Chain A
C-alpha cells in the first residue's frame, strides 16, 4: 500500500535558523514526488516535483532532495513569510491517484 509520512509534525524556527523537513514514502513504482505549500485557509500551492533518486530542485530559500525512500525539504535562512504547512505527496505508476502526507507545520519567528 502506498504511504507517505512526514516529520516533524510541527517545527518552530527562529528567523535565519536553517533546518530540514522529512518525507518518507512507500510506493510501487515512483512516478513523481511532490512538495506543496499550504497557507491557512488556502488550497495547497505547488512547489517542486522530483522524479528520480539523486534529483535536487531549488526555489529561493527552499531546496528539495530525493532518495529511494525519502525526500528532504531544506530551508535555508528562513523568513517569517516561509511560515506555512508543507505537504509531501507521491504518485505511483499513474498520476491518477496522488497520496499526500499529513504535512509539517512550520513557524518562523522574527
Chain B
C-alpha cells in the first residue's frame, strides 16, 4: 500500500468555522492532489501540488486553499465551511511516469 494517511478521517463542524484536512505521504512523491467525491459527480479535483510551495487550482477550487511546506505534507483548508462542502475528501499522490494515482482512505466532512 502507498504510504498515504489522511487526518482527521471523520469531522463534523458548523457552518462558518475553519477546517483543515491533512495529507501525509511517506513515498517522497512530488505531485499531490486533493479530490472531493459526491454522489452523481464522481471525483473532482480541488487543488494539486507539484512541489514544495508550488500549487495550482483544479476544477472545484472555490472556497478552498492549500499549502505545502514540506514534500510529505499537503494541507487543504476551508476558511469558512459551508454545507455545500459536506463531502468525502481524498488525497492522492501520482506516479508521473504512468499517471497512476494512489489514494488515501478519505476524510468524511459534514458541515451542519
Spell out A's residues near B (CB within 8 Å).
4, 31-32, 34, 36, 41-46, 49, 87, 89, 91, 95-103
Residues of B within 8 A of A42 (CB): 105-106
Indicate whether B63 reaches chain A with its CB closer than 8 angstroms. Answer: no
Which of B50, B98, B105 counts the most A-chain CB atoms under 10 A from its CB? Answer: B98
Contacting pair A100 B42 (CB below 8 A) = yes
Residues of B within 8 A of A32 (CB): 98-99
> Can you list 27 contacts pairing A with B, beta carbon distance less than 8 Å?
A32-B99, A34-B100, A34-B101, A36-B101, A41-B106, A42-B106, A43-B103, A43-B106, A44-B43, A46-B101, A49-B98, A49-B99, A87-B43, A91-B99, A95-B31, A95-B94, A95-B96, A96-B48, A97-B48, A97-B58, A97-B59, A98-B99, A99-B59, A100-B44, A101-B42, A102-B40, A102-B42
With A95-B94, A96-B48, A96-B56 known as contacts, the answer to whether A45 contacts B40 (CB < 8 A) is no
Which of B45, B50, B100 counts the most A-chain CB atoms under 10 A from its CB? Answer: B100
Contacting pair B106 A46 (CB below 8 A) = no
Other A-B pairs, 11, CB within 8 Å; known A43-B92, A43-B103, A43-B106: A32-B98, A42-B105, A43-B90, A46-B101, A96-B56, A98-B45, A99-B45, A99-B59, A102-B41, A102-B42, A103-B42
Contacting pair A44 B103 (CB below 8 A) = yes
Give, as a whole number of angstroms, the nearest-CB distance from B22 to chain A: 15
Would you list which residues of chain B between 37 and 92 have a CB under 8 Å from chain A?
40-45, 48, 50, 56, 58-59, 90, 92
Contacting pair A87 B96 (CB below 8 A) = no
- The distance in angstroms between the C-alpha atoms of A31 and B31, with both chains bound, is 17
**Leading 8 A-B pairs by shortest Cβ distance:** A43-B103, A100-B43, A102-B42, A95-B99, A32-B99, A100-B42, A46-B100, A44-B103
